[in-house]
Amino acid sequence: MTGGEKAIAEHEQNKRGEMIAICGAKGGNGRTTLAVNLAVALAKKNSKNPTCILDADFQFGDVGLALDIHSTFTIKDVMDGIDTLDNLTLSSYLIRHNSGVKVLAAPERPEHADLVLPNGLDKVCDMLLSQHDYVIVDTPAGFSDKTLQIIEKADSVFMVTTLEIAAIKSTKLMLETLVLLGLREKVRVVVNRSTMDSMVKASDIPDFLGEDMPFYVPNDYDVVSQSLNNGIPFVLKNGKSEVSKEVCKIAEQLISRRQISVFKPKHASFIQSIIQRTIGGNTSFF
Ligand SMILES: Nc1ncnc2c1ncn2[C@@H]1O[C@H](COP(=O)(O)OP(=O)(O)O)[C@@H](O)[C@H]1O
Ligand SMILES: [Mg+2]
């Protein structure tokens, strides 16, 4: 076995996927839109390595609607049998979208949200991470105990905001709270609808939010609302639209960052370290 083959085999054995939490201070900022389209973009570019979405908006989750899929099973069923849960049973509770993305749906009724308990949620995340390269988690607006648990566990957090004053004010507060909790480093701001008419310009966001390099996803009401209403992600149906291209760029950055971290040698030589730093400087975003 060559060194490269050995590294791949080792990686397959100790595989743990990457957990990406999609958060936001205000409802309607575009978290579900980003979660669904980013997951499908990752699946398209990375078809060998499965992607799943955990709909952690446990009261009013609408990932199933956004993908036009319906499941008889939700995370409520998973919680009912959590003590004896194994990988095979968990897989049978996931719904497969035709893009290859799998979804663990939110409960059908808001009153069932409380049945998702912290230990169970932790176990489900670990099991999903052992089976998928990317676990995208859509969350409800603001902080709740479960959203905080997810943010703590996530490898990366995308904080979605728009250019509306109220959204920026709340996002700033949320980011400040994450600084206090020591979790700010893994957060990257995503300015959604960045080309919308607003008193605040997209170029002001780095200063306002203390974020050097936010991602910008443009405003395209026709494409996005039609996509949500029809349940067909725009990265599939409107691949040439600007909004689609920007989401695909985010997916590409995630993929190249993961490739670098997975195949980074444990004991790099001096020259290898320099090469890694150079490549890492171009592609890592935190
Ligand atoms: N980039 C965008 N351009 C135009 N409209 C958008 C964009 N992203 C989201 N929207 C619209 O914003 C609304 C809320 O989106 P959604 O993803 O459901 O937000 P959240 O999950 O944060 O509540 C939807 O009606 C959607 O069409
Ligand atoms: Mg949502």
Q: Which CATH architecture has domain 10-283?
A: 3-Layer(aba) Sandwich (3.40)
Distance CA 205, CA 218 (A): 14
Q: Which candidate, 156, 144, 71, places its Cα nearest to that of 113? A: 144
- Give the pLDDT mean for 121-141: 97
Ligand 1 atom closest to residue 217's alpha carbon, by position in its atom list = 1
The answer to whether the CB of 140 is under 6 A from ligand 1 is no
Closest ligand to C-alpha of residue 63 is: 2
The answer to whether the CB of 228 is under 6 A from ligand 1 is yes
- Give the pLDDT mean for 223-235: 97
Confidence category of residue 286, pLDDT binned at 50, 70, 90: very low
pLDDT of residue 229 exceeding 70, the answer is yes
**Within its chain, how far is the Cα of 57 from the centroid?**
13
The answer to whether the CB of 26 is under 6 A from ligand 1 is no
Task: Provide the residue ranges of all domains of the chain, joining segments of one domain with +.
Answer: 10-283
Ligand 1, pocket-test mutation among 26, 29, 32, 33, most atoms within 8 A of CB: 33
For the stretch 168-210, pLDDT in tens is 999 999 999 999 999 999 999 999 999 999 999 999 999 999 9
pLDDT of residue 47 exceeding 90, the answer is no
- Token pair, residue 59, equals 């009261």
Q: Are 188 and 156 in contact (CB under 8 A)?
A: yes
- Beta strand 51-55 pairing with 102-104: parallel
Give pLDDT, residue 12: 57
- The distance between the two most distant Cα atoms of the chain, rounded to a whole number of Å, is 60
User: Burial code of 156-187, b = ≥16 C-beta within 10 A, e = fewer?
Assistant: bbbbbbbbbeebbebbeebbeebeeeebbebb
Distance 34 CA to ligand 2 centre (A): 9
**Between 94 and 260, where is the model more confident?**
94
> Which residue carries 């799943």 as its tokens?
52
- Beta strand 156-161 pairing with 51-55: unpaired
For the stretch 88-120, pLDDT in tens is 999 999 999 999 999 999 999 999 999 999 999
pLDDT of residue 231 exceeding 50, the answer is yes
Give pLDDT, residue 276: 54
Closest ligand to C-alpha of residue 36 is: 1
Instruction: List, as one string, the DSSP characters of 142-192.
Output: S--HHHHHHHHH-SEEEEEE-SSHHHHHHHHHHHHHHHHTT-GGGEEEEEE
Ligand 1 atom closest to residue 160's alpha carbon, by position in its atom list = 22
